[in-house]
Structure 1
Amino acid sequence: MEETIFDPGVTPVFRLFGMPVYPYSLLLVLGLITGLILALRKAKRCRVPADAILTFAMLGLPLGLIMGRLIFCATRLVELMDLGIGYLFRVDYGGFSLMGVTFGIVLAAVLVHRIYDIRFADVLDAVMPGLLIALAFARFAEGSTTNGTGPEIGLAGLCFSPLARQDLYGDYAFAVNMGEALTALIAGIYIMTADKPVSGQSAATGVIITAAAQILWESARRDEVLIISFVRYVMVFSALILLLILILSLRQLDWPWTGKALVILFLFLPAGIAGAMEFAIEGKILAFLPNWLCYLIDALCVTFMGWVTLRTLNVACESK
């Protein structure tokens, strides 16, 4: 979930036509511009026309915002019923769902595929590096809000930037947004520079890295997030994305069904353990486990999930 609650201590960077420009909005705009430039550069290597990228940008931005807001409000039915339909437009009461933004971006890619008769996978290959870099800028921008924080830090030696951030009460907490930003940044740079000859492989690689890591980062967040019991919506959504890529990759392989079922089990087993760690962190089960050990187990599980999915994808691409 993306929130837009500003830290009242943040001062504007400058004023534009008399209106204050805050670090959050400035970084978002810089991220979008950088993402568009990278997408145009990547498009040349993917043989996607520049017009298609510009069309994607014009469609993806409004669709991402609209879908992101709708999904966010759909998970906040109580507030929606209390405040009425006007709640849809009150972004100061909460921001946008990352799930919804993803749906909007995919819809924009589908429309570009239909309009320009370009393969859907090629469109994603062209725009994915720019999208990930824009996401990195957005995560960095969260540093100027009250969101993106994790568990409180008890050791004074760890209370420094960029590892930690101060909340409104002056307490230090882990800066989860920095981990999310670095993950998206590394994934974006990697798929921008790596040579992936099979259509869709580059985009899928970036998505796998980001989705697997997001399960861990979302678990560590202690700000206001969208939750199913003690499991976050984005955690479930990220795991489903990995499962979808894994299934699509397995369909390309001439393996016996038992082998494919075993690979899927290799994804479900660590996912179940990671989910259990959520309850352990909240003290609902295995309360004797320290939180640092729960997060370590969580990190190992999501790393294995990402490795299984990425390895299967690469094997499927090599078989073509």
Structure 2
Amino acid sequence: MTSFGLVMLGAAAAALLLMFFLREKHDLRKRTVFVFGALAAVLCILLGRAAFWLCSLEWIPDSGLSFWDFLGSGYSYMLYGAVIGGFAAAFISSKITGQAFGRIADAAAAPAALLIAAGRFAEYLIEAGFGSSVEEWFDPFEDWSMIAWENPEPICRFPFAVQNYYGTWRFSINLLEGLAAIVFLVVLLRMKKRKTGGAASLLLLMYASCQILFESMRKDEVIIWGFVKANQLISALLVLGILIFCWLKLPKQQRSKRELTFRLVMIFLAAGIVMLMEFALDQKVSFLMWMRADLSYIVMAACCVWMLAAVVPLWKKAFPRED
């Protein structure tokens, strides 16, 4: 646990340093970066933990967990709370320094992607972020994969899989999440300067779209509300919210209700298919009993890309390049 905390502390320092180097691109003063860093260090941790606590109200009273055990569990669910903490820190920093809230949020976007990547990779240290059993996945009698592999030993090792308390090798979903965050980082670093708010909203859009899939694949710290996984629902709502936000950012004369309706239908249709795939994974839909889990995940991944593609054109209109 101490190792995880040290990695996150080092990653936070690296993220703040990256934000310092990016400050000129976003027209920020040096003081603004340090004010934001000090506020974010506190608010991201507190609001991140609060988010995990609220998502887990049903079972926390009987679990013996303490609210103040920040490194004990709940990293996956702390992320969205930490996002709120980051935006709160940017807002307060804007009031203290007299600089635009959107510029601070944009400058923090790429560093946030770096911090997410580090946090996902660091989950190896706390044996979290795992998925299904590797042996069971390729066992033809388990009906999980379309590929039968009698001896998957080559991938029963770090970083592809992690061994749990019982000695079972399970897929490292945190590896995929970390690699996705690195892609986000590269995209944000290579992105040309856009209208204020563009970088921050794009990071949220990319992260939420991918997390819909990754939350389905994770088998640890899965919190379910009714029959819906909490983080999947939050991610889908965030994609929907960003779409509406981008539409409202457009000048009134450019707001096409027809286009908005079309893109809403795309998102709801994709979300509906994702939900159907979840039922297929649980073998609760008779006409989809033939589908193997890997095929369900492929369809789900396509739907996540579909949702991302539905929002990006409107995002580009709402946040045009600033030459």
TM-score in terms of structure 2 length:
0.85
| Aligned equivalents of 1:116, 1:30: Cα separation in 2 | 26
Structure 2 gaps of 5+ residues are 136-148
2:265 paired residue number: 265
Shift in CA distance, 257/39, structure 1 to aligned 2, threshold 3 Å: same
Asked if 1 retains the 8 angstrom alpha-carbon contact of 2:117 and 2:177, the reply is yes
Which residue, 126, 133, 138 being the options, matches 1:152? 133
Aligned counterpart, 1:64: 44
Change (3 A) 1:176 1:81: closer
Q: How does 1:117-128 map to 2 (within 5 A)?
A: 117-128=98-109
* 2:298 matched residue in structure 1: 296
**In structure 1, which of residues 287, 290, 306 is the aligned counterpart of residue 308 of structure 2?**
306
Check the 8 A contact 2:197/2:319 in 1, yes or no: no
Aligned residues: 299
C-alpha separation between the residues in 2 aligned to 1:133 and 1:249? Answer: 25
- Alignment of 1:26 onto 2:6: yes
Pick from 45, 63, 66 the counterpart of residue 87 of structure 1: 66
Does 2:22 correspond to 1:46? no
Distance 1:160 1:26 in 2: 24
Distance 1:140 1:311, change over 3 A: same
8 Å Cα contact 2:23-2:30 kept in structure 1: yes
Q: Closer, same or farther in 2 for the Cα pair 1:203/1:75, shift >3 Å?
A: closer
Distance in 2, Cα, partners of 1:249 & 1:90: 37
Cα RMSD, aligned residues only: 2.2
Distance 1:256 1:199 in 2: 22
The residue that corresponds to 1:206 in the other structure is 203
Take 1:188 and 1:93, find their aligned partners in 2: how far apart are those partners? 27
Contact preservation (8 Å) 2:193, 2:321: no
SS in 2 for 1:150: strand
Q: Is the 8 A contact 2:209 2:236 kept in 1?
A: yes
Q: Distance in 2 between matches of 1:209 and 1:71?
A: 20
Question: How far 1:141 sits from its partner (Å)?
Answer: 0.3
Q: Name the CA shift for 1:70/1:319 in 2 (closer, same or farther; >3 Å).
A: closer
Residue correspondence of structure 1 range 1-320 to structure 2 within 5 A: 21-22=2-3, 24-82=4-62, 87-91=66-70, 94-96=73-75, 97-154=78-135, 155=149, 156=152, 157-251=154-248, 252=250, 254-285=254-285, 286-318=288-320
- Structure 1 residue 161 displacement after superposition: 3.2
Q: What code does the residue aligned with 1:283 have?
A: Q
Partner Cα distance (2:166, 2:83) in 1: 33
Structure 1 alignment gaps of length 5 or more: 1-5, 7-20
1-side partners of 2:63 and 2:290: how far apart? Answer: 42
Partner residue of 2:142? none
Letter in 2 for 1:98: L
Contact 2:243 2:314 in 1 (8 A): yes
- For the residue of structure 1 that corresponds to 2:67, the secondary structure is helix
For the 8 Å contact 1:30–1:137, the answer to whether it is kept is: no
**Alpha-carbon deviations, 1:187-225, whole Å to 9, x = none?**
112212321332221222222222211111111001122
User: Residues 30-77 of structure 1: CA distance to partner in whole angstroms, max 9, x if unpaired?
Assistant: 211110111111111100112111111111121111112222222333
Contact 1:98 1:234 in 2 (8 A): no
Secondary structure at the counterpart of residue 195 of structure 2: coil
User: Comparing 216-225 with 193-202, which one deviates more in the overlay?
Assistant: 193-202
Instruction: Determine the C-alpha separation between the residues in 1 that align with 2:279 and 2:43.
Output: 35
- Shift, 1:262, TM fit: 1.0
The alignment's TM-score, normalised by the length of structure 1, stands at 0.86
Structure 1 residues 217-255: Cα deviation after superposition (integer angstroms, max 9, x where no partner):
111001122222343211111122211221122221614
Is the CA contact (8 Å cut-off) linking 2:213 and 2:300 kept in structure 1?
yes
2: CA distance, partners of 1:316 / 1:301: 23
The percentage of aligned residue pairs carrying the same residue is 27
Q: Residue 55 of structure 1: SS of its match in structure 2? A: helix
Question: Amino acid of the residue matched to residue 194 of structure 2?
Answer: P
